[in-house]
Structure 1
Amino acid sequence: MSSDNEFLCFINGEPADSILVSDRGLSYGHGLFETIKISNKIAPLLRYHLERLTEGARAIGIACNEALLKKYFYQLLEMIPEDGVVKIIVTAGSGKRGYFYNKPNSTCYILQWYPIDTNFSLPRAQGVSLKCCQHRLPISPLLSGIKHLNRLDQVVARAEWEDEFYDGLMLNQDDYVVECVSSNIFIFKSGTWITPEITECGVAGVMRRYLMDDLFPSTGYIVKEVKLAMNDLLSADEVFICNSIAGILPVLSVDSHCSWPRGNYTQKIQKELYKVFPCYQ
């Protein structure tokens, strides 16, 4: 475990920074992860993170003890020196070589803390530009919505640009818009908020869920989940992306092919989010 306040790591509740080479998370990506914003010793969306993690664990056959995970989380929370990000990784643990998994009682819980190295105030205020990625997300309904450890599609897509874009727009094999490399996406069109459905591929972000389940209904807006064609995105009145670390970021353009304002409706949603969670201001 690092002692220079740049990195903390606990594995199964003990200070450590390495795992067995036989761990199935390393060998096969057999695991899940959550990246959790910490502000003033508070994790604003912790409930949503833990629910997604435990639901994902059930889907891929990992025995996840939520009570034990919470214990490890709060243990780490007491030790962090400043605001930052806690990353939780839960793997199937070590097992025999081969794909077959006999569900051993060896779940591995890895919790890491990092300081936040990005100031999101400027992109929140001024907006961001997106790259339309050439790499397409594969259709995989069983894994849809889950934040599993295999992020190769995102790694390949992120290699398509340097720093000229904030994030990359990702489509599926049928050319429907699904998400961004590290964010979910919403559009405002004809008085309605719309977001791509996450049923065949993609990650169901916790900020996306919070907005859909709580914030939008509280402000009286209707939200629809649809198969979002690129033409529908490009003809939107306003667009924003979101995740649990950055909050809500207005989108100004995609590949410079079109442009949107930092619209009034997006700003209203941003302000409503700030009221509940000031850390996203």
Structure 2
Amino acid sequence: MINYNGQIVSENNNQINYNNRGFKYGDALFETIKIKDEAVVFCEDHYFRLMASMRMLRMEIPMEFTLEFFESEILKTINANNGDENRVKFTVFRDAEGLYAPESHKVSYVVEVKKVAIEVKSSYKVDLYKDFMINPNLLSTVKTNNKITNVLAGIYAKENELDNCVLLNSNKNVVEFTNGNIFLLKGNTITTPPLSDGCVKGVMRKNILDVLEKSTEYTVEESSISPFAIQKADEVFLTNVIVGVQPISNYRKKTFGSEITNKIKGLVANLS
């Protein structure tokens, strides 16, 4: 069962069809959200990111779209299913006629829930994806439905027996993984790409930066990263709200440790 504009309906409900702008033009946004102990993890962060993204894309934000409404619609969908789902996708699409230019900016939303296995792998192999690049602009920081580069990178990873790929921007700097932000550790310095390089404004990224900036053990930098810097790093890790922190074990011929990454996992364990 899914939540379509506040009504619990079957996933096969014909109200949701190909004739919407999310399908036709990628005129849609989404939030991937973790549920833990019947609570919406990082609820405020997801809500405010969604609101900021909708404003950026000039979508009409309904008056009832409050933080409380956002949370209640998610929990309502969880309760309408088995009640033990832990992954939510909250999609908002512009619900209007028109071609590239919409005739209005009103929106509809769909809430989907799933039960997924959350596993931090001990072996995690990655490589660069170089066929297509991310544009280093503000729009790339938003979680829109225009994720074809990530899809192709995911296919490339499967074809080459990798766990993930590192995406580059048109300046050939490191941006992120296909499904999460990237952090490099060298000495006591932890570096992640700045939003200006085109990485998604990740909720877990934000919370990890908040935690690390309060720590006296590490220096945190948001600066551009070259692919060569990955090979020189002592440790590399991926972050997203579902897994949390995933250490990278192998990049090409380089093998990484995970001692500091595991300490950072401990620092943020209570966050997710």
| TM superposition score normalised by structure 2 | 0.89
- Match of residue 268 from structure 2: 273
Question: What letter matches 1:237 in structure 2?
Answer: D
Q: Are 1:34 and 2:31 matched, yes or no?
A: yes
Match of 2:223 in 1: 226
Cα distance per residue 1:235-272 (max 9 Å; x no partner): 011111111001101111113x211112x221111111
Amino acid in the other structure paired with 2:108: C
After superposing the two structures, state which structure 1 stretch, 158-167 or 144-153, moved more: 158-167
Residue matched to 2:130: 134
TM-score by length of 1: 0.86
Q: Partners in 2 of 1:50 and 1:200 — Cα distance?
A: 23
Shift of 1:103: 3.2
Q: 2:4 aligns with which of 8, 11, 17?
A: 11
Question: What is the match of residue 180 of structure 1?
Answer: 177
**Matched ranges for 1:1-281 at <5 A:** 8-16=1-9, 17=11, 18=13, 19-65=16-62, 66-67=65-66, 68-80=69-81, 81-96=83-98, 98-105=99-106, 107-116=107-116, 118-121=117-120, 123=121, 126-162=122-158, 164-213=161-210, 215-220=211-216, 221-255=218-252, 257-262=253-258, 264-274=259-269, 276-277=270-271
More displaced 10-residue stretch of structure 1: 221-230 or 157-166: 157-166
- What is the total number of aligned residue pairs between the two structures? 261
1:206, CA displacement in angstroms? Answer: 0.8
Give the Å deviation of 1:127: 4.2
Structure 2: runs of 5 or more not aligned = none
Q: Which residue of 2 aligns with 1:5?
A: none
Given that 1:137 and 1:201 are in contact with CA atoms closer than 8 Å, whether structure 2 keeps it comes out as: no
CA apart distance, 1:140: 4.9
Matched position secondary structure for 1:94: coil
Query: How far apart are residue 21 of structure 1 and its match?
Result: 3.1
In the aligned structure 2, how far is the partner of 1:166 from the partner of 1:247?
Answer: 16
Question: Which stretch of the first structure deviates more once superposed, 244-253 or 135-144?
Answer: 135-144
Equivalent-residue separation in structure 2 for 1:104 and 1:232 (angstroms):
43
Cα distance in 2 for residues equivalent to 1:217 and 1:127: 28
Cα distance in 1, alignment partners of residues 77 and 29 from structure 2: 19
Instruction: Give, in whole Å, the separation in 1 of the partners of 2:72 and 2:263.
Output: 37
- On the 8 A contact 2:94/2:108 being kept in 1, the answer is yes
| 8 Å contact from structure 1 (residues 33, 148) kept in 2 | yes
Distance 2:244 2:25 in 1: 31
Secondary structure of the residue that 2:237 maps to in structure 1? strand
